[in-house]
Chain A
């Protein structure tokens, strides 16, 4: 393993001549891999022996590489008693294996502490991802450890006990935030059958009590190459990287049993639901969640544009009707981008002197106005202008690219990374009006109020 300090140079990060638009690298042929397709500048391969999906996107603006593995397991794969297990397991993935551990001084944390860079993992509704962004010369060392923990993790009870309190403190910190506390309640009321009902961090009692055997079963069910996608973005040569991946991931077999699929679908909501959270605080919050669509749905792009028109910046409807009228400190709207249908959520944070009923009334009036009169072409053009620029901003650096690609993988189709952009660019004012009428139905909504109980807080 190369551990040189002085060789790192930023020269390659600085452009000294014309920079040409990047084209995809030509597909490479590496024994053991099947080339699947190239979309945009991303090429897809499959490791024949075990079904591991590999996505390669050379991006040579800096001499660094982001390596990310995305497992298609998230809190949607949990049931009562194991809520939060995906996330707790993610933490335990840093506890070591026979080959790489703290005692030996070569754990993944210690390796990154030696070579520098970013290392972390995150868990969401549909996926868990592990990643590092390192200087390109340090990639192999990371791949070796990352691959090893796919199947060789220790998973010891003593580690669970120590990590449980760490995760519980993460839960407690989240609970400190009024909006997060309200969001948990709104989700739980809005979604009753589908596992999106509970938040990714889970219920406190499950975090505290889930036995190590269930975590082991979870690991042995979902942590297999045929349930994972490796994404490599940055300054690398495709054939060499495929060789590394084969070297370290090629030792694993496919899962012995098919990966279980979630089959629960949310029943149709037949009437408005309401929740209230009362606790000490300073600022009231109104949240409204409407039943929405999956990220792969053809209506998602129009809902995304609708969210921008309603709640993004000073040009938005909510800013003009609420924030500029000193009814709110801010308000936003967005459609969730997930594997299964989730929610179109609106949040408004009350300004001093405003009350919940008044703010909710204005929010609903603005929604009804869009449903009745539609939006203007100019509003759509502004939303698309923001969207187009955000695509470019999201490609500033290999980690940003990997993160966005990761969400498309989780939604069920990595090519959404490009196709959602293409579809969004074609959204019209008529599309926005149509989806507003189709999805922003009060009978399919859940409204939540965070009411601060500090004396006279609402009147400040």
Chain B
């Protein structure tokens, strides 16, 4: 779903915080089951199983002129199957407290499930049924269109969403998967999409090819894979992720202001496209340097200065995103009171320019490596954290062993590599600035057209 993409990307960044020496590859059981890449891993948690998965049927597969087709198709999966209606499925899941959901992001259909150990066969069975044989009822489709229209409008109320959304259009060219369509385009395209087009999209892109499932927790890996094999037996089709071309570098700095009425805090994004995929050798050094500059925590350069020393914001962060399947972006995201907006942006820019010009210090790098290791360890301490990390790594094209090797790879990064990556791939002078909120005396932008 278009409006979930930002959250999913952010979660992936956090989950991917690397740094510990592990033995995931040794204990995980991985198999190709009729084309599906399945990883199962037993951890110490009791009675809980987390299942996550992905299938390359994201928004990047939607054709021009029908930008909501992938989202509409994914959202129809939980609206009933040819076997049973949505209420029967919801009752079966609800009776045992199992959770199963599907969402569509820029590149994939994401699958998320959770259940008690005894209920894994039920969860896997219903997941397969919904993926393989959705009913695609015309009546449900019409309901969904209204729901999604409301959801698209609802996200327009959020300055943070509006700023990030506009930023994507400023830094990625037309046709790039990370470029988000406007609300107007989503609403217009959605209203003319037919259920026949949804059926066709499902037939074309849904199948075992390119699909991944990761099952983690209180689980017998072999038994779990047997359930997957049983549930997906005979399923064919699907497609591998498409090859994508990098975005062009920004030629000059842009400034965009989105004026919204009655907002008490202004959302700000500053950044650029990187032309880097996660698998690029420069990405990990750039990510490490970015964490020092504005990662999570209170001691980053941005938080220590813009928040702690100057009191200008509740939060200001920097991160790399959207680089799993294609080239991504680098951005700062912060919020400022309208009266402190100019000061906040100026302070943020000062930190950006100093970081870019002078680079990071040896002391910062040493501390960040240790913090990385601790964060990674803590992040893998739940079944959800472990499952999410494995899936992200595999989708980035890394082998399973990378989950274990990640800390050593981070530890080996040098200060020169970090500073070189910063200077090579980022240019503050050409970064785009987007502001969204109640700014100055300008009138609010008109609402999205129907």
Contact = CB atoms under 8 A, between A and B. Distances in A.
Residue of A22, A320, A454 ringed by the most chain B CB atoms within 10 A:
A454
B313 A169 contact: yes
A329 B147 contact: yes
A405 to B, nearest CB: 16
A387 B377 contact: no
A324 B143 contact: yes
Given A13-B43, A15-B42, A161 B261 contact: no
A389 B98 contact: yes
B192 interface: no
A214 interface: no
A110 interface: yes
A77 B234 CA distance: 63
B307 interface: yes
Task: With a 10 A CB-CB cut-off, give which of A162, A173, A313, A396 has the most chain B CB atoms.
Answer: A396
A282 B154 contact: yes
B371 A282 contact: no
Interface in A311-364: 313-315, 320, 323-324, 326, 329, 349-353
A116 B23 contact: no
B24 interface: yes
A396 B384 contact: yes
A71 interface: no
Interface stretch (A59-67, A222-230, A252-260, A286-294): A59-67
Interface string B147-182: 101110110111100000000000000000000000
Contacts of B345: none
A239 to B, nearest CB: 22
- With most chain B CB atoms within 10 A of its CB, the pick from A12, A353, A388, A460 is A460
Given A315-B90, A351-B150, A175 B380 contact: no
16 contacts: A6-B411, A8-B21, A8-B374, A11-B23, A61-B43, A62-B382, A116-B373, A135-B377, A162-B308, A173-B335, A177-B158, A313-B90, A326-B147, A393-B48, A453-B261, A460-B447
Contacts, number: 267
A315 B91 contact: yes
A117 interface: yes
A314 to B, nearest CB: 4
Contacts of A103: none
Contacts of B384: 396
Contacts of A13: 22, 43-44, 380-381, 386
Interface in B208-227: 217-218
Nearest to B26: A14
B298 A62 contact: no
Contacts of B114: 389, 393
Contact of B96 (A94, A172, A385): A385
Given A14-B27, A398-B381, A389 B311 contact: no
A148 B426 CA distance: 42
Interface of A: 3, 5-6, 8-16, 19, 21-22, 60-64, 94, 102, 109-110, 112-119, 133-135, 138, 161-173, 175-178, 279-283, 313-315, 320, 323-324, 326, 329, 349-353, 381-382, 385-390, 392-393, 395-400, 453-455, 457, 460
B112 interface: no
Given A133-B378, A352-B149, A10 B24 contact: yes
Contact of A14 (B43, B159, B308, B337): B43
Contacts of A138: 374
A9 B335 CA distance: 37
B370 interface: yes
A54 to B, nearest CB: 22
A313 B297 CA distance: 34
A118 B378 contact: yes
B447 A457 contact: yes
A178 B23 CA distance: 46
B254 to A, nearest CB: 24
A391 B115 CA distance: 11
A329 B154 contact: yes
A168 B340 CA distance: 11
A392 B374 contact: no
Contacts of B378: 64, 116-118, 133-135
A133 B22 CA distance: 18
B91 A62 contact: no
A22 B46 contact: yes
Interface stretch (B130-138, B262-270, B318-326): B262-270
B307 A166 contact: yes
B310 A162 contact: yes
Chain B residues touching A, range = 35 or more
A15 B97 contact: no
Contacts of B157: 178, 281-283
Interface in B422-450: 437, 444, 447, 450
B259 to A, nearest CB: 11
A335 B38 CA distance: 40
Given A64-B381, A385-B95, 14 more contacts: A5-B370, A8-B407, A10-B24, A62-B43, A62-B380, A115-B374, A117-B378, A119-B298, A169-B265, A329-B147, A389-B97, A389-B114, A389-B115, A392-B116
Contact of B367 (A10, A14, A113): A113
Nearest to B96: A385
B116 A9 contact: no
A112 B378 CA distance: 12
A134 B19 CA distance: 13
Nearest to A381: B95
A386 B44 contact: no
Contact of A114 (B115, B371, B381, B383): B371
Of A61, A138, A389, the most chain B CB neighbours within 10 A belong to: A389
Contact of A135 (B143, B151, B374): B374
Contacts of B23: 9-11, 14
A19 to B, nearest CB: 6
Interface in B1-53: 19-24, 27, 41-48, 50
A373 B149 CA distance: 35
A320 B380 CA distance: 38
B150 A329 contact: yes
B94 A352 contact: no
A410 to B, nearest CB: 23
A176 B265 contact: yes
B372 interface: yes
Contacts of A61: 43-46, 381
A385 B151 CA distance: 29
Given A13-B381, A280-B260, A176 B41 contact: no
Contacts of B22: 9-11, 13-14
A436 B30 CA distance: 50
B374 A117 contact: yes
A455 B443 CA distance: 13
Contacts of B156: 282
B299 A109 contact: yes
A308 to B, nearest CB: 9
A292 B360 CA distance: 54
B372 A21 contact: no
B189 to A, nearest CB: 16
Contact of A282 (B50, B99, B307, B447): B447
A64 B377 CA distance: 8
Contact of A10 (B48, B299, B380): B380
A386 B264 contact: no
